[in-house]
Amino acid sequence: MAVLDHLALAVADPDRSLRFYRDLLGVEGQVREEPYGFVITTKAGVAFTLFRGEPPSAMGDFHLGVSLGSPSAVREARQRFLSLQLIEHEWWDEQGYVSVKVLDPDGYIVEVSWEADIRTT
């Protein structure tokens, strides 16, 4: 069985991206600073690396996601994102699924969602 255990993003400014993912999105975990940027190791054991580099100019449909524990938590996150004037890429609010996609500082699409059939912690 293969286990997805890490994700690495090229970012223009690792400090700015770390603030975005930790402070704005609430990604929790132990942060390790490296010469190239930061590694956040989440409670689920996923190593999320933000390394100084050149983000791709065209992302297509690539996105990464963060799950929240309730539909209202996603709606509240959306309101916070709007108040911070983040660029909203997509919004869904239907029975069993609530999702908002915003752009991070480098243009990556980040989805914050709740889905009835998905276990969130």
What confidence tens digit (pLDDT) does each residue in 53-108 have? 999 888 777 889 989 999 999 999 999 999 999 999 999 999 999 999 999 999 99
Q: What is the 3-state secondary structure (H, E, C) of the chain?
A: CCCCCEEEEEECCHHHHHHHHHHHCCCCCEEEEECCEEEEECCCCCEEEEEECCCCCCCCCCEEEEECCCHHHHHHHHHHHHHCCCCEEEEEEECCEEEEEEECCCCCEEEEEEECCCCCC
Q: Which domain holds residue 19?
A: 1-53
The tally of domains found in the chain comes to 2
Give the pTM.
Answer: 0.85
pLDDT at 58: 81
Whether residue 92 is found in the same domain as residue 48: no
Whether residue 77 is found in the same domain as residue 101: yes
CATH code, domain carrying 38: 3.10.180.10
